[in-house]
Amino acid sequence: MKVLISNDDGFQAPGIQALWHLLDDIAWCEEKLMVAPQTNRSGASNALTLMNPLRLTQQAPAVYSVNGTPSDCVHLAVNGGVAFQADMVISGINAGANMGDDVLYSGTVAAATEGRFLGKPSIAVSLCGHRHFDTAQQVMQQLLPNFPKVILDGDTILNINIPDCPISDIKGVKVTRLGRRHASEKVVADRDPRGQPMLWIGPAGAAKDAAEDTDFAAVAQGYVSLTPLKIDLTHYAMHSPLQTWVDQFDLNAGALA
């Protein structure tokens, strides 16, 4: 298999470098390509750059940076920007967790999502901290050899979160669902060196739903969390009540029936 790797921390980040090197030990990885942002684009979500040109810059053999978002990187790599046709996409290893509501903002998850949009089996991988990338590397060295046996349907990506601790403290692996956070903290007001007001987005909220089957609980207990994510965001249970509501309307009459 040919593997495309990307991230949202940038092509020089320690996590993607760890992922790049561990793929050399994966028997089914026939060829690899890195296409990642030129600079840190954390929190970019699924944004694509549509109003400005994008540039692929070769940084090393099979390593390219892009002056765009994580989704840009995967889109260019899969859709004709390079002479390489990936069989799958791995995004990460991210510095910081991507659990619960985080996945809606995450550039790491977005890169995997873009791969899935373009028909490639995709994984997003995050270390829930900034220290033990060696642990994340060892975990992935154990998980990836059997990945081709995992059947992901066309609407699914795999979101992996790894505790930031020594490998000896990892208790195992759990299949989980997304938890939920409380609302984020208030905006932080400050002033720049010229005395002008500026605002910072506040920290993410603490876990609100951290039940036993969630990603939050698994990681807190020392387990690697595997969460299958669906790209289809349709809330099917709402179809019936919404249909009851719209049946009240006669749009041709321009008023309620």
Residue 79 has pLDDT above 60, yes or no: yes
**Model confidence pLDDT, tens digit, residues 10-39:** 999 999 999 999 999 999 999 999 999 999
Q: What is the pLDDT of residue 256?
A: 55
pLDDT at 149: 78
pTM: 0.89
* Domain 2-181+207-256 homologous superfamily, CATH: Survival protein SurE-like phosphatase/nucleotidase (3.40.1210.10)
Q: Give the number of other Cβ atoms within 10 Å of residue 205's Cβ.
A: 14
pLDDT digits (tens, 9 = 90+) for 34-45: 999 999 998 888
pLDDT tens digit sequence for 86-122: 999 999 999 999 999 889 999 999 999 999 999 999 9
Q: What is the pLDDT of residue 182?
A: 57
The string of pLDDT tens digits covering residues 47-73 is 999 999 999 999 999 999 999 999 999
pLDDT value for 255: 56
Determine the Cα angle at 27 with ends 82 and 168, to 5°.
110
Model pLDDT, residue 154 = 75
Nearest to 122, CA basis, from 82, 152, 99, 85:
152
143-161: per-residue pLDDT in tens?
A: 999 887 787 777 889 999 9
Cis-peptide into 160, omega within 30 deg: no
Task: Determine the pLDDT at residue 249.
Answer: 80
Residue 28 has a pLDDT of 94
Q: How does pLDDT run across 168-225, given as a tens digit for each residue?
A: 999 999 999 998 775 767 888 889 999 999 988 767 767 665 688 899 999 999 999 9
How far is it, in rounded angstroms, from Cα 136 to Cα 93? Answer: 7
Q: Rounded mean pLDDT of 121-144?
A: 96
DSSP summary character for residue 248: T
Strand partners, 34: 5, 63
> What one-character DSSP code corresponds to residue 72?
H
